[in-house]
């Protein structure tokens, strides 16, 4: 597996990381713990060094899974986790954002225990908290870095102005935001801003939450508890309307003797040398398929052909409902 540096930081990771959320959260029932540990161990064997989790995934159980699975390889891998939500411990769900300094410090200490480590390699603010100045957030993470509890500061789904303000206080190593062939709104302002500042991009949902793999169509049932049931892009009508993008990806996949998932990941990798996608999976064969995308090269002509063709396709449906965006501080 090739390596990439996240911007100007000295944080070097595998070209493709592993998003671990789906192993415990968001896509129906949590996976079998032993099986999920097997997948994580296989990822290490295949050269993956960036593993992404968060306290909210579960909540808590995903960090515990990642900590246990990676304990034998701790010095070989980069563990990223996140703070910034308020969690109702009775209902075990998030009830809004909370990036008050005291909460950030508490989460850091608790995450360190769950992850079975003495330092968090990359600590993201999961969502911007409109009630806490970003300078205070950056300053708090800076304190944690000075205390040796955190190595790198990250932001997730933050806007360009917020990124600039945070970066002025404590250099931001990485921005984690959704980026894929059907989610490209960050190309206008945010990607140019982080390129200017020397910040890497960790792309979550690079496979469009599974849609860009070609394994979902308008008739594919989603499991009970799968949060995609609540997303506007995953209504039956929206999936049918967005099928032309998948058909285009399939066409390119056939020409490259690759799978649609591999082409979708190769496209993300081709955009900038400091972008690292973190597809998630619970299956060993999908892990191997995804990681093979790192060796697929899309030529300049192929990328331009793809750009021209995809520009004719109108993506139907927003990423989230308004209520979800408000609740998550988006």
Q: What phi, psi does 124 have (nearest 5°)?
A: -95, 145
State the sign of the Cα–Cα–Cα–Cα dihedral 321, 134, 84, 75. Answer: positive
Residue 207 tokens, joined: 């496979």
132-164 pLDDT tens trace: 999 999 999 999 999 999 999 999 999 999 999
Distances from the Cα of 242 to the Cαs of 71, 183, 245, in angstroms?
Answer: 41, 12, 6
pTM attached to this predicted model? 0.97
Is 329's pLDDT higher than 80? no
Distances from the Cα of 48 to the Cαs of 79, 154, 247, 274, in angstroms?
Answer: 11, 20, 29, 16
Predicted local confidence at residue 326, as pLDDT: 67
CB distance 94 to 56 below 8 Å: yes
Angle of CA points 116, 120, 122, to nearest 5°: 145
Listed by start position, the domains of the chain span 3-211+271-296
Q: Report CA Rg, the chain.
A: 19
Burial of 88 (0-12, 13-18, 19+ CB in 10 A): exposed
| Enzyme catalytic residues | 57
Predicted local confidence at residue 327, as pLDDT: 58
Is 118's pLDDT higher than 90? yes
CATH superfamily entry for domain 3-211+271-296: NADP-dependent oxidoreductase domain (3.20.20.100)
Task: Give every CB contact of residue 130 below 8 A, 6+ residues apart in sequence.
Answer: 97, 329
158-202 pLDDT tens trace: 999 999 999 999 999 999 999 999 999 999 999 999 999 999 999
């Amino acid at each position: 597996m090739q390596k990439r540096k996240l911007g100007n930081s000295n944080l070097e990771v595998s070209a493709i990381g592993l998003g671990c959320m789906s192993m415990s959260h968001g896509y129906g029932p949590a996976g079998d713990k032993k099986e999920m540990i097997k997948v994580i161990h296989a990822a290490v064997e295949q050269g993956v060094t960036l593993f992404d989790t968060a306290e909210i995934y579960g909540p808590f159980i995903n960090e515990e899974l990642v900590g246990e699975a990676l304990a034998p390889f701790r010095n070989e891998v980069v563990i990223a986790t996140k703070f910034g939500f308020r969690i109702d411990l009775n209902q075990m769900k998030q009830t809004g954002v909370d990036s008050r300094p005291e909460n950030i410090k508490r989460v850091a200490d608790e995450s360190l225990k769950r992850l079975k480590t003495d330092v968090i390699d990359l600590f993201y603010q999961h969502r911007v908290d409109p009630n806490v100045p970003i300078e205070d957030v950056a300053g708090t993470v800076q304190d944690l870095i000075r205390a040796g509890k955190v190595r790198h500061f990250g932001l997730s789904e933050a806007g360009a102005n917020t990124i600039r303000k945070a970066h002025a206080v404590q250099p931001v190593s990485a921005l984690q935001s959704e980026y894929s062939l059907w989610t490209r709104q960050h190309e206008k302002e945010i990607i140019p801003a982080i390129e200017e500042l020397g910040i890497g991009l960790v792309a979550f949902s690079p496979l469009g939450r599974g849609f860009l793999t070609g394994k979902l169509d308008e008739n594919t049932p989603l499991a009970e508890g799968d949060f995609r049931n609540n997303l506007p892009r995953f209504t039956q009508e929206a999936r049918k309307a967005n099928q032309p993008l998948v058909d285009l990806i399939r066409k390119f996949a056939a020409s490259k003797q690759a799978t649609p998932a591999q082409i979708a990941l190769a496209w993300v990798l081709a955009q900038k040398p400091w972008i690292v996608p973190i597809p998630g999976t619970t299956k060993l064969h999908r892990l191997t398929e995804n990681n093979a995308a790192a060796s697929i090269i899309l030529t300049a002509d192929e990328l331009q052909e793809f750009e021209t063709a995809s520009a004719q396709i109108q993506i139907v449906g927003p990423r989230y409902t308004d209520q979800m965006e408000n609740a998550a501080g988006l």
